[in-house]
Amino acid sequence: MEDAKDPCFWSRICMHSIAKLSKEATTFRRVMESLFRHFDDTNSWLSKNGLALCVLLDMQMFMENSGQNINLTISILVTHLGHKAVLKQPEMQISIVEVIAALAEQSRAQASAATIGAISDLVRHMKKTLHVTLGSRDLEVVKWNDKLRKAVDECIVQLSNKVMLDQSST
């Protein structure tokens, strides 16, 4: 009966219900995009102890334990980096990339086409970042883009390790 009064209990039930939606990719994508926009609006992306990482790690654990693929979540999250509200906030971009890297590092799921697609999208995002840095004389922009590039590098390494580990185990 105490659980009924605990908001953490209910938030986990909601996250588990959302995770169950991953069987239908379009519905899952729409729900996750709404969740990500909420994280944007509430500035919940801080990777070290932010709400987004806690929620997504919990969802990842549930999905992996029920045999569902977390790679779709990572792919949708990488795509979210291109959202117009995120593009204007370099600190948020860095935090989102760090969350993606943490999810990839913690994931037990095997790499999939979605993982390869996420790596490709991150490389494309890095290319845009490098173009902005090359054309800018603003030291603040250069500094943020350098931090973002380093975060994207680390994220690509984490995702690539997934692919390489899966290749070596086959």
Quickly state the pLDDT bin for 37 (edges 50, 70, 90): very high
Residue 85's φ and ψ, nearest 5 degrees, are: -70, -30
Tell me if 147 sits within 8 A of 90, measured CB to CB.
Answer: yes
Q: Determine if the pTM surpasses 0.75.
A: yes
Res 22 pLDDT > 70:
no
Q: Range with the lowest mean pLDDT among 3-12, 98-107, 120-129? A: 3-12
Given a contact cutoff of 8 angstroms between Cβ atoms, the answer to whether 148 and 93 are in contact is: yes
Q: How many helices (H) and strands (E) does the chain have?
A: 8, 0
Q: In the chain, where are the structural domains located?
A: 2-168
Radius of gyration of the chain (CA): 17
CB 38 within 8 A of CB 86: no
pLDDT band at 169, cuts 50/70/90?
A: low
- State which H helix or E strand residue 27 sits in: helix 25-41
Which range has the top average pLDDT, 43-47, 71-75, 78-82?
78-82
